[in-house]
Amino acid sequence: MNAVYEMVNYPIVLLSAVIAPFSILIVITFISHGSLFGTAIEGGLIMTFFSSGISLQSDLSHLKNDFKLQDMIVSSPTSSTLYMAGMTLAEIVYSIPSLVILIVLAGIYLHPSILQISILSIALLLMFAISVAIGFMLSTFSNDVVQSYAFSRLLSLLFTTVPPVYYPITYVPADYRYIAYLSPTTYVAEIMQSATGYLKISTNMITFDWVVLSAVCAIVLFLAIKKTRWKDV
């Protein structure tokens, strides 16, 4: 409800939520003379989902440090997992305008089949789970909302603009590709681009991408559940 209120009464919030993924999409499309429009749409989806999950950090930090909401949640029957799940759904509301436009563009331009939609959806949800877990974990350690906003911007930049998510990894010089593979978003991009025909890689490489993405998701979720400072003792 807070997200809806902000976007209805303060249009700048709506503009801010939409402009980041589309600004890079437009730049990539112009530079490639339209040849990378399809991969740029997929990159916009990756950025939107990842940024939504990471932004959970700053919102949770604000509620924890400024409103002491986490102290109240801790003293209630609500578990940290349920709290994170509820806040995660709330973060999606901010991304609905961007997601609607990107999904419409994907439907018009990519014409994905049911199988392709399933592959893209699963890959994006795994990455979203990774970003949510990172955001939740960092929020419980942060003592200042300003610090949290800085972390959110930095992580979004590192994971969604530096790695090749708006364009195929083949555009990255071979000597530097190992750096790109340090980011889980690279594996998501490869899966999505391969599923829609923009990247030709072997079946073994696709399998490897799925294994790495699933393993990273499991590890990060485990750390978020087991190692998070949910309450002071």
Q: Which pTM value belongs to this model?
A: 0.86
127 falls within a domain: yes
Domain encompassing residue 66? 2-226
Q: What is the pLDDT of residues 46-60, one digit of tens each?
A: 999 998 888 877 777
34 falls within a domain: yes
Q: Quick one: pLDDT at residue 22?
A: 86
Is the pLDDT reported for residue 154 higher than 90? Answer: no
**Of 135 and 149, the one with more pLDDT:** 135
Q: What burial class does residue 203 get, using C-beta atoms within 10 Å of its C-beta: 0-12 exposed, 13-18 middle, 19+ buried?
A: exposed
232 falls within a domain: no
Structure-block tokens of residue 97 = 């305008």
Residue 172 phi/psi, 5° resolution?
-90, 130
231 falls within a domain: no
Q: What is the pLDDT of residues 30-40, one digit of tens each?
A: 999 999 999 99
Q: Quick one: pLDDT at residue 11?
A: 73
233 falls within a domain: no
221 falls within a domain: yes
Our count of domains for the chain comes to: 1
Q: What is the pLDDT of residues 57-104, one digit of tens each?
A: 777 776 766 667 767 777 788 777 787 777 778 778 878 888 999 999
Instruction: Give the count of alpha carbons within 13 A of 140, CB side only.
Output: 23
Q: In angstroms, what CA-CA distances link 100 with 73, 103, 231? A: 33, 5, 37
